[in-house]
Structure 1
Amino acid sequence: MIIHLATDHAGFELKEKLKPFLEKLEHEVIDHGAFEYDEQDDYPDFVRKAAEAVAADPERSQGIVLGGSGQGEAMVANRVKGVRAAVYYGGPEEILKLSREHNGSNILSLGARFIDEETAKRIVKIWLETPFSGEERHKRRIDKIDSF
């Protein structure tokens, strides 16, 4: 699987820790930035590139984007047709699993100010290992979303 990463300054440190973790899980990692810590950078500049890459290769690609809360990053990603970004910044893991099983999320947006490195690694692994259920009702709903 190809994993497209993107972040702004708020998630930079965590992104840098997730890269080797993802490579150890035998994923190809493509980093869309930020490439250095810059307190003045803007997450849309990086997240858009990752989201467009996921949308261009949906069979082989997933995305992980990071920011302070993950909310703005998900909003940017979800502007790209074919992207279904889910936000996680803590709480029950079942919510995260449902984002894959029912909604076929293809980008995970992490709130780096609310989760630590170990939680992020655990959540990323769960998200990547949870498949879309393929149930007809969920396919139908995704088709409706994609028609917008």
Structure 2
Amino acid sequence: MTVVEFGNLNYDPNDDFPDYVIPLSNAIVNKSIDRGIAICGSGVGASIAANKIHGTRAGLIHDCFSARQGVEDDDMNILCLGGRVIGGEAAWEITKTFLNAKFSSIERHKRRLDKIYLVENHFFG
């Protein structure tokens, strides 16, 4: 597995999460990476920003069940975490679960994604 860093390696109180989440999301859409992990204070802002990019499917996740199901059922490609909400050990377990999960390709899951793609194509062309 290759890791590509999109964030700032040094703390800067003036950092804004969209400056890092948008390039991460674009890298997924451009297929230079398969999945991403975005972290901000609550995880909400990172999730909102990531989901503005056509083709990303970001989920704000704070438990392993949702991390696995988000990938298996919904083909989630960005895991969003709240750095002020979740502890380091839990974040690590959730991240491992997310990275090890695979999309199920079950017909009902593909059908649901197709409906989402129709909406995306309607609004994003």
Determine the C-alpha separation between the residues in 1 that align with 2:27 and 2:20.
11
Distance in 2, Cα, partners of 1:74 & 1:102: 18
Residue-by-residue CA offset, 1:110-136 (whole Å, 9 max, x unaligned): 111111211111111111111111011
* Unaligned runs of at least 5 residues, structure 1: 1-26
Residue of structure 1 equivalent to 2:68: 97
In the other structure, the counterpart of 1:76 is 49
- Identity among equivalent positions (%) equals 38
**In the alignment, which of 53, 60, 63 is matched to residue 87 of structure 1?**
60
Q: For residues 6 and 67 of structure 2, what CA distance do their matches in structure 1 show?
A: 24
TM-score by length of 1: 0.75
Task: Give the Cα–Cα distance (whole angstroms) in 1 for the partners of residues 79 and 104 of structure 2.
Answer: 17
In the alignment, is residue 39 of structure 1 matched against residue 29 of structure 2?
A: no
Aligned length: 119
Is 2:90 aligned against 1:124? no
Moved over 6 A (4+): none
Match for residue 23 of structure 2 among 49, 62, 70: 49
C-alpha separation between the residues in 2 aligned to 1:145 and 1:34? 32
What residue ranges of structure 2 are gaps of 5+ in the alignment?
A: 121-125
